[in-house]
Amino acid sequence: MKGLIAAFTRHSVFANILLVGVCFAGIIAWNLMVREMFPEFAIDVVTVSVPFPGADPEEVEEGICQRIEEAIDGLEGIKQYTTQSHEGLGVAVIEIVEGYDVAKAKDEIKSRIDAISTFPVDAEKPIVSEIILKQEVISLALSGNLDERRLKEWAERIKLELRNIDGISQVEVSGASDYEISIEVSEERLREYGLTFDQVAQIVRTSSLNLAGGTVRTEGEEIRLRTLGRKYWGDEFAGIVLLSRPQGEVITLGRVATIKDGFTEDRTTATLNGDPAILVMVWKTTDEDAIRISELVHAYVDEKKPTLPEGVKMTIWNDWSEMIEARIQLLLRNGSVGLCLVLVLLWLFLDLRLSFWAAMGIPISLLGALAIMYASGNTINMLSLFGLIMVVGIIVDDAIVVGEAIYVHRQRGQPPLKAAIEGVAEVGLPVIAAVTTTIVAFLPLVFVGGIMGKFLKIMPIAVICCLSISLAECLVLLPAHLSHLPDPNDPGRLERIRRHPIRRVRRAISDSLEWFVEHVYVPVIGRVLERRYVALCVAVSIFLAALGMVQGGFFKFVMFPDIDGNSLTASVEFPNGTPVSVTRDAVRRMEDALDRVAAESKTLTGEPLIENVYALVGARVSDDISFGGGATPHMGGVRVELLDSEQRGIHSQTVISAWEKAIGEIPGAVSLTIGSLEGGPPGKPIEVWLQGYDMDELLLAAEELVEHIRTYEGVSQVEHDFRPGKNELESTEFSDYSLSS
């Protein structure tokens, strides 16, 4: 080992080239790496969705879900599967065994599903897809005094314009109802003209088609024939001819039916600060940069605002990139402070050149780690930045130890080159052992399985890369740079110190530290070594006391701490079939409760606690994973943007607790969930699964369990996921009805 150290120490040019190469690679990686909120990963889940329009959950269970279960049961690579029967939709959620090829499993599942020939006739084509967690970057809230149609048209126009910007590809419109042309046929009119409903439906169906009619060959060219008959507007449908009488009278669809060109009956309505609103949500792909997307959207908003109609506002909403930028600034700030502290303290106690090269270990280690992370396909995200911030205080320790050892040998009168070699050889193995044990402590996190393991994996990778580069830097680069360390005992140097006031202060501080080491630290260490068994017992006692405090509950355990974020969300859900008016009243109650909490809360700066309130009726407030489309009148919620945490001085969890208390119990609601929008792996903190063959017994057991858990102190928002379907009238008798003219 000593010969290897001597080889690197003697060739300082090679060390400088290596230093420049590492820094250059790190700077390139920093500019090329994707910046995002959390690392993207697949959760190894495949879903099968089969729409069955008009069917109730029992029909879906019997005709769709049971068929899917029979087809995929026993298939290789499947860990477990669950099926969900909704009104008009059957869904199977299939979890793949960790390490198994998800694409292969998806193909095998699709083959099995496509081979099912016993699906109901009215069931639509199955959709087999792999679940990929999407990341929202930023949203635009378009609000104002426009009617719903014009507001949605503007939102769709903004969506297309954003997609045309280079660097933005994933844009969605949220909080708007779907377009629909409804045709309500009058029974009296049908009888008057001698028509049946089936005849009208068939005529409408065949009158709204584009049909190819082949080609006509002439001497000069071939002409393609095509009939353009597809209708897109209500007025066009009104002109469809249903009946032509010999007298020349023409009966059109508009004479026998009421045609409404508008939105679906189950409406989705949204408001921002009380005004009608629609959200334009911008997402990112794996290769797109969140901060770059945010910058492009902000530039677009600044350019677009002057062109909006009078009374229409465009508001930046839920910009996740701000958290990423704040974490990056924290890393840069911590690194700068650490570098300055090392530079100043080592200069006070040792030597200026030594302090400079020891402090350089911080940027070199960080840049080297970034280069390795970029080469291995990792990104700059909240977790990788957390790992780098955490390790900033560790990476300089080994450089300080090596530098101090070289300085001591130089103080003893050894030549610069020999002092560098001997100093590294003396402390090299202990330094390697110290860094290696830290790496080993983080290494198990790389092999954690499941979704949580995929989520956390980047953090230990960042730490290990940084520590590895730090170890290589202190053993290879640092000795080469300190191989020209000046003699601290040089009489001329000592004379210059005496003449310079700042150097005299530095010398006095250094002498004070040496006095403390010789007269205090060394005697104490000597006595500890003489009574080593007593020292060992004290250490074991401290360890047992700490362990006892953890096991005794004095220190609480949570997987992720409560982050004082600026975004809150509250969702309410009623039984399926609940009128939208009931949901709207519940959402209004949640808004009123929030207003009362804001009025009673005093912020540090005196500014209002609430900046923006987005209320949604007829859909989930936040859905990263959705299995079905369409409005859900029994669902609604509120998303809140709070004043920045540094300005409000009130923790978001305090606001959540006060908000939940102010809302109280909502009559008829099956679920009320209030929390913060901070991202992370999906799922509740604690889930209990109940399985059985009798649904009534399962539901009774679930309700008893929920009531029992609610008696525990500190537990909130306890619920089960069973949702009853709509009420229905059932009949076992059938009658034939005929329409007579």
What are the residues whose beta carbons fall under 8 Å from the beta carbon of 472, sequence distance 6 or more?
368
Q: Quick one: which of 280, 285, 290 has its CA closest to 321?
A: 290
Same fold? 2-37+324-489, 142-177+274-319: no
pLDDT at 91: 92
pLDDT at 739: 38
How many other C-beta atoms lie within 10 A of the C-beta of residue 205?
A: 9
Length of the chain: 741
Distances (CA, A) of 547 to 32, 442, 485, 536: 45, 20, 47, 17
In one-letter notation, the amino acid at residue 323 is M
Report residue 699 as tokens. 């539901």
Report residue 649 as tokens. 């001085």
What is the per-residue DSSP string for 157-192?
HHHHHHHTSTT--EEEEES-PPEEEEEEE-HHHHHH
pLDDT at 192: 80
Residue carrying the six token digits 């997987």: 559
CA distance 284 to 138: 10
Report residue 37 as tokens. 């909120």
CATH superfamily of 567-683: Multidrug efflux transporter AcrB pore domain (3.30.70.1430)
Q: Quick one: which of 369, 367, 345 has its CA closest to 358?
A: 345
In CATH, what number does 142-177+274-319 get? 3.30.70.1320
Which helix (H) or strand (E) segment holds residue 67: the answer is helix 66-72
Distances (CA, A) of 489 to 91, 407, 486: 80, 11, 9
pLDDT at 392: 84
> What's the number of CA atoms in the CB half-sphere (13 Å) around residue 708?
6
What are the residues whose beta carbons fall under 8 Å from the beta carbon of 124, sequence distance 6 or more?
50, 51, 52, 53
- Under a CB-based contact definition with an 8 Å cutoff, are residues 677 and 622 in contact? yes
CA distance 148 to 27: 49
Distances (CA, A) of 235 to 183, 244, 253, 467: 11, 19, 10, 71
What are the residues whose beta carbons fall under 8 Å from the beta carbon of 583, sequence distance 6 or more?
572, 574, 617, 618, 633, 634, 635, 636
pLDDT at 624: 37
CA distance 90 to 83: 7
- Under a CB-based contact definition with an 8 Å cutoff, are residues 5 and 475 in contact? yes
CA distance 686 to 682: 12
Report residue 224 as tokens. 């393609």
Q: What angle is formed at CA 733 by the lines to CA 730 and CA 738, rounded to 5 degrees? A: 110
Report residue 550 as tokens. 């953890």
pLDDT at 368: 92
Distances (CA, A) of 556 to 33, 346, 550, 551, 560: 36, 39, 7, 9, 12
CA distance 337 to 317: 33
Q: Helix (H) and strand (E) counts for the chain?
A: 28, 19
Q: Which residues of the chain have pLDDT under 50?
A: 623-629, 734-741
pLDDT at 427: 86
Report residue 520 as tokens. 């205090």
Largest CA distance in the chain: 127
Encode 236-261: b = buried (16+ Cβ within 10 Å), e = exposed. Answer: bbbebebbeeeeeeebebbebbebeb
In the beta sheet, which residues pair with residue 568? Answer: 640, 676
Q: What angle is formed at CA 333 by the lines to CA 332 and CA 337, rounded to 5 degrees? A: 115
How far does Cα 72 stand from its chain's mean position? 31
pLDDT at 559: 62
pLDDT at 740: 34
Encode 48-87: b = buried (16+ Cβ within 10 Å), e = exposed. Answer: bbbbbeebbbebbbebbbebbeebbeeeebbeebebbbbb
> Where are the chain's structural domains?
2-37+324-489, 42-132, 142-177+274-319, 180-212+224-263, 506-557, 567-683
Secondary-structure class of domain 42-132 per CATH: alpha beta
Q: Quick one: which of 620, 346, 659, 395 has its CA closest to 510?
A: 346
CA distance 56 to 120: 13
Q: pTM to 2 decimals?
A: 0.77
- Could you tell me where the DSSP H helices lie in 610-694? 645-648, 652-663
Q: Which CATH architecture has domain 180-212+224-263?
A: 2-Layer Sandwich (3.30)
Report residue 519 as tokens. 């007269």
Task: Tell me which DSSP letter residue 445 carries.
Answer: G
Report residue 34 as tokens. 């994707």
How many other C-beta atoms lie within 10 A of the C-beta of residue 717?
A: 13
SS3 619: coil
CA distance 293 to 100: 34
**Beta-strand pair 610-617/635-642:** antiparallel
Residue carrying the six token digits 């009362």: 596
How many other C-beta atoms lie within 10 A of the C-beta of residue 389?
A: 18
How many other C-beta atoms lie within 10 A of the C-beta of residue 548?
A: 10
Residue carrying the six token digits 């001497």: 219
Task: Tell me which DSSP letter residue 61 carries.
Answer: I
Long-range CB pairs of 112-121 (<8 Å, 24+ gap) are 112/71, 112/72, 112/75, 113/48, 113/68, 113/71, 113/72, 115/71, 116/67, 116/68, 116/71, 118/67, 119/50, 119/63, 119/64, 119/67, 120/52, 120/55, 120/59, 120/63, 120/64
- Under a CB-based contact definition with an 8 Å cutoff, are residues 353 and 486 in contact? yes
- Under a CB-based contact definition with an 8 Å cutoff, are residues 407 and 350 in contact? yes
CATH 3.10.20.30 fits 2-37+324-489, yes or no: no
pLDDT at 397: 84
pLDDT at 232: 78
- Could you tell me where the DSSP H helices lie in 517-637? 522-530, 532-551, 580-600
